[in-house]
Amino acid sequence: MINRIERTHTVVELHAVVQKWHDANLRVGLVPTMGALHEGHLSLIDNLAEKCDRIIVSIFVNPTQFAAHEDFDTYPSDINHDLSKIDSRVQLVYAPTVKTIYPAGYATRIVPDGVALGLEGDYRPHFFTGVATIVSKLLLQTRVDVAIFGEKDYQQLLMIRQLVRDLDIPVAIHAAPTIREADGLAMSSRNMYLSAAARTQAAALPKILNDLAHNELARAVAEQQAQDMLLATGFESVDYACLRDAETLAVPNATTKSCRALIAARLEGVRLIDNCAVPNT
């Protein structure tokens, strides 16, 4: 099947292929990824296959969304492994080089406010600027009709919806639910950094998240219980374990219609994030 998938590193080739599709009135979708593809990524492709005639998967480990102390240099990268995971529902893999995305003289960043503030924005201050910039570039380079993002990165998803709205980027943004391992841990390229013992411990995170989402005690008490449970289960530190307005990520108030439970915590130095909907009472 691999030989049926075109692959390009250049914007010129990308434009030519997408133009041909648009000329034929085909609906084109994009699945942006950083590679190290797993079932979570493949579910985004499944989801888009129902909505689009042609699918592009981009693979680019974006240096500007990593801080100096983070794992850019060790981020898993194996294009052949990724190509072997993708089937014939994908027509084009766009895998640009860093020079293609950020050529000499590149000097523009998009700094999102609003939903990008707080939570991940507090603990990874560079992160959303890097993501907003690369996603804008990928959307403008590919000129797709639809792009899809995972709820696994919930704040990122809200930030991208805000970005597209604010900058009038002509693309529909779709969201896909989080795909989990059999024990409930959200699939993530970073799970492979965990030792076998820590991998077993990590399954506590989605359970604690679920308890937080269903906790009927006062919000601050529920959040504290979740934090205490994470630490008691062996997580070294908890960046946040909280309930937030599902649309704005503000602390819930009388006008909040629905809530989201969100956790970021470290195990063996690996930062794991997860979130889920809070059932409306």
Binding region for ligand AMP (CB under 6 A): 33-34, 40-41, 43-44, 149-150, 152-153, 176, 178-179, 186-189
76, 69 contact by CB (below 8 A): no
Token pair 């006008």 in the structure block, residue = 255
Burial of 242 (0-12, 13-18, 19+ CB in 10 A): buried
The letter for the amino acid at 57 is: V
What's the DSSP call for residue 180? B
Task: Report the residue number, 36 or 212, with the smaller CB distance to ligand AMP.
Answer: 36
Residue 212 Cβ vs ligand AMP, minimum distance, rounded to whole Å: 19
State which H helix or E strand residue 239 sits in.
strand 237-245
E strands in the chain: 6-8, 28-33, 54-59, 92-94, 146-150, 172-176, 237-245, 259-267, 270-278
Task: Report the residue number, 222 or 270, with the smaller CB distance to ligand AMP.
Answer: 270
Residue 147 Cβ vs ligand AMP, minimum distance, rounded to whole Å: 9
Residue 25 Cβ vs ligand AMP, minimum distance, rounded to whole Å: 27
262, 186 contact by CB (below 8 A): no
Residue 254 Cβ vs ligand AMP, minimum distance, rounded to whole Å: 31
Token pair 């997408």 in the structure block, residue = 18
57, 81 contact by CB (below 8 A): no
**Residues labelled catalytic:** 41
Task: Report the residue number, 71 or 225, with the smaller CB distance to ligand AMP.
Answer: 71
